């Protein structure tokens, strides 16, 4: 999703690479990508990619739409920045709702 790509390029290079590595794992394993690389977002239908097996301060929020796994937003990890995490989740949900229309 273009908006998530814009968020990705604003991350520090090392974090961007970690997110891209996590996305490659998601592409390879799909819905079977296990914890700690992926986790459900509480109170949402979203899942979060957890770069560096969860040790990164950044997350990529995604959900399956039909046959495609769509990364809709990039945001901070919940414990590092709870408000930023909530904003990124809401943004991902909004973008996915628009994408599904």
Q: Is residue 93 within a helix (H) or strand (E), and if so which, with residue range?
A: helix 82-100
Taking only the tens place, the pLDDT of each residue in 42-71 is: 999 999 999 999 999 999 999 999 999 999
CATH number of 2-100: 3.30.2310
Structure confidence at residue 1 (pLDDT): 87
Q: Is the pLDDT of residue 28 over 90?
A: yes
Average confidence (pLDDT) over 77-95: 97
Domain parsing of the chain, residue ranges:
2-100
């Amino acid at each position: 999703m273009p908006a998530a790509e814009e968020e990705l390029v604003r991350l520090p290079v090392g974090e961007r690479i970690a997110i891209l590595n996590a996305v490659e794992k998601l592409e390879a394993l799909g819905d079977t990508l296990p914890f700690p690389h992926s986790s459900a977002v509480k109170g949402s239908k979203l899942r979060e990619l957890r770069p560096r097996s969860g040790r990164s301060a950044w997350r990529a929020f995604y959900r399956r739409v039909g046959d495609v796994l769509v990364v809709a937003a990039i945001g901070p990890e919940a414990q590092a920045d709870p408000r930023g995490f909530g904003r990124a989740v809401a943004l991902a949900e909004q973008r996915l709702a628009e994408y599904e229309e």
